[in-house]
Homo-oligomer: A and B are copies of this chain.
């Protein structure tokens, strides 16, 4: 984990989301604490997936909820000033997230992905566009994003792109992350609003 994490940070990834469904609570907590040290010193945000308790316990920057996790408004209260984001898959869910106090939304899957079976068909760039027009919150696009299609995603209005296999499956994680960061830097400010 440590070498992957260092590669990501050196590649200028600025948010790490930690997901660990198979660990015990203590293992997840210990891992989150380890990761926290790296992210803190690198000025990178740490978001914990699902587990509000682990997020609070390790003083993460936020928690990311799925539709099967705690209700957003309850997580919002428990998390105090920290970030609360939620995965959304259609306009209705995105608008509900806004009304329930999310700080950002995940939206996807944009493209087909092999990482996680979500049960959702790819939403596509056009739908991302539509969500962008409807929602002012920051949008994190996810699902099948790679260094080759990330420009499209930003141009469609995403504020951030979440990558799992697109980065962790790369031969050289640091260099790939750096290329993605460069695409972002080049496109920043030229996006659809």
* Chain A residues within CB distance 8 Å of chain B: 24-27, 29, 50-54, 56-57, 67-71, 74-75, 78
The complex places the Cα of A74 from the Cα of B54 at a distance, in Å, of: 10
The interface centre, meaning the residue of A53, A69, A70, A78 with most chain B CB atoms within 10 A of its CB, is A53
Closest 10 CB pairs of A and B: A52-B53, A53-B53, A24-B68, A25-B69, A26-B68, A57-B74, A57-B70, A56-B78, A25-B70, A29-B70
A24's partner among B27, B52, B69 (CB-CB below 8 A) is B69
The complex places the Cα of A56 from the Cα of B53 at a distance, in Å, of: 9
Report A36 CB to chain B, min CB distance, Å. 13
The complex places the Cα of A70 from the Cα of B54 at a distance, in Å, of: 8
Report A23 CB to chain B, min CB distance, Å. 9
The complex places the Cα of A71 from the Cα of B56 at a distance, in Å, of: 12
Chain B residues in 8 Å Cβ range of A56: 52-53, 78
Residue of B nearest to A25 (CB): B69
Chain B residues in 8 Å Cβ range of A53: 51-53, 56, 70, 75, 78
The complex places the Cα of A75 from the Cα of B52 at a distance, in Å, of: 12
The complex places the Cα of A68 from the Cα of B23 at a distance, in Å, of: 10
Chosen A-B contacts, 13 in total, with CB atoms closer than 8 Å, are A24-B69, A25-B50, A25-B51, A25-B70, A26-B69, A26-B71, A27-B68, A29-B71, A52-B56, A53-B75, A56-B78, A57-B70, A57-B75
Residue of B nearest to A63 (CB): B53
Chain B residues in 8 Å Cβ range of A26: 67-71
